[in-house]
Structure 1
Amino acid sequence: MSDVAKALARPPNYPTKFFGFELGAQTTLDDKNDRYIVNGSHQVDRLREVLDSFIAKFVLCGSCKNPETELQMSKNDDIIKDCKACGKRSGVDKVHKLTTYIQKNPPPKKKKGQGAHAEAANKATDEVEQMENDAQTQDDLTARINAEAKAVPIADKKADNEWSVDTSEAAVQARVNQLSEGVTTILGQDGANSDEDGNDAPESQLALWIEEKHAEDQTINPVDILNKSRDLNIEQKHKTVQVVIQSALTQNAFKELDGIIPVLEQMCKDGSEKHQKSILGGLERLVGLNYPELLPQLPKLLMKIYQADLLEEEVIQHWGTHVSKKYVDKDVSKKVRVSAKPFLKWLDEAESEDESD
């Protein structure tokens, strides 16, 4: 846990407490001996999901999704992620229990001339490099941690011995290029990240616009989403449907669907198979990556969308029996389809009854 925290530039008690809250487990914080423990026996996949959730909520910039952020406390005790890449300041999940814990245990303030920081920086650098070298022999969780660690800026020893980020024009452009290449986090394996003029694809622009609204804790009006897609001239494109499903919906997806369904109806007027597959792909990313806690609710989500006549039986049944890595990796894809089994079973039985009648 200590190595993970250093790689993410966060105090080790923060991810430890986050794991404890998410897993309902007791934790042990021993700063003196550098021991941070989460009690219990837990599956690797679940631990990976929790770590991803911590990174998304308390590490990644709310604007550019870059991990080069620093936690700061505002004068009114709000927690701010100060991004060293794009310069934006975004908030964290205010309702999470960890937010209250951080407010009571704020991140340590940096002091100029503090030699321990330089020593910690060099130690963290060595550890990250060692983690990368050992990735092939470590388990899935550690390998995933290594992948996240590669994106974390390596500290540099400056005159004031503070953690620093290369802000030169070349370095900033390199990070921008890296971010552009990572657009599959928004659109999946086949998402184009730029148009013919080299600009961000309009679907990506829509996703980032929605994410900014979430980061600023703004209530998103479904009508605004529809108007934004029209402004970008992508209202009828099937990938737009995927973006809306996976980006606009949150952990309250079942209630939020009531407002989003009319938007989807406008975007799926032709009822094409591509649009239906994009709906299902967006759901895969929503419950498989963004909010794994929604997996048990997947049958209800599918039922609500199906009853709105946005999905056909044949498309759903084919999706339910064919694992694909188009939107998520195969392990997550399998997990999503297992969670959808109650609805798929109901759909199969309903069709059998219709044929019998």
Structure 2
Amino acid sequence: MATVNIPREVKDPFYRYKMERLQSKIEGKGNGIKTVVVNLSSVAGSLSRPPSYVIKYFGFELGAQTTTNPSDDRWIINGAHDAAKLQDYLDGFISRFVLCKKCRNPETDVVIKDGYILLDCKACGERSEVDLRLKLSSFILKNQPSKKGKKTKADKKARRAEKRGENGDAEENGRNSPGDSNNSDNAEEDGDGEVEAGSDDELTRRINAEAKEIEAQKEIKDDEWAVDVSAEAVKARAKELPTDLKRALVFDDAAGEDAEGENGGSAYDELGSWILSEAEAKGSVDKVSDVDVYVKAKELGIESKHRTLAVLAQTLFNDNIIKQIPKRAGMLKKMISSEKHEKAFLGGTERYVGKENAKLIPQVSAILMVYYQEDLISEDVIKAWGSKASKKYVDIATSKKVRKSSEKFLEWLENAESDEESDDDEESDDE
């Protein structure tokens, strides 16, 4: 049986943590087509995670229904999905829910404490948190790992399957490789291992590299720049903006949840005006890079402030917002670090859609769906936001229009949760 390292980025052929390469089989035709993950129990056993966690993760990533507790050990995903594609998604599961955030070792246990999911690393002793905004996190909290000495049916099946595939070589198949993950959203805290293109770690390195270039360019004279980005020039351009847009970018301290002091609002206005002027100079907001935006926010000292997200929601997008969100998701996830940030991001979106680009109001459900799929906004925050109109970012009438347009997504979210609870009830009956 072919094996791969856990994680696959480790190239050492003698690395002790290994698992079988995923095998899948496509069955059925037409609407009834499905993918059976043949050796999921063995792979999950090597990761020391219940197979239900892995198959549910696949379902979330692929947007497909799955079986989470089959009586015949046949783990099924609706639709046709080849093994190589599933192996790539498994890398994401391992990164988020198996590897230790500190030492990148897969020898971790899942611990649920006070509503948090912790990864207890047996190699270095670190206890790191899993991001609760990830969709699988809710499933794990509802389906907690069994206590020591009390194994579930899925655990026993996984163990039996692992033994069948070991052929007397326990280490080769990763018997000693319990693992749980750190969230890729916090990749900057990880080790120096390889990272996928577009990951947060890569974004951090790009930011650091380009920040150094910016420092080196400080000696260049202003007249050598194509666009004058000095504070005076930015303020001058801000005065030329349409009245409605200037009002959209102003954040009174009284309205904010944390005052920034006498000049607090100006930093946000300056960031928003800078992004708009850069977009105008370059011909499109799509040509304003994430790195430049982050560096500018950091220069203004507001890269970690929640109100910065409200400004970004109003300035980073245009009529193509649905396609633009995934391209900005890496940077946005890096800057959204709390529910307060999520709420500000939704508020900025509400103001942009409701006041500055009203023709996008019919697309609110689609916009929220992409936010949710990209893990920018959590389920609880979206539901709370959708429960009642607010005049914090727009007038009440506009706020009601925006929420009315979001009903389709909110209904989908409610039904998805009901389906999940239904799956949980079926699992309980099987037990």
Normalised to the residue count of structure 1, the TM-score between the two structures is: 0.46
Normalised to the residue count of structure 2, the TM-score between the two structures is: 0.39
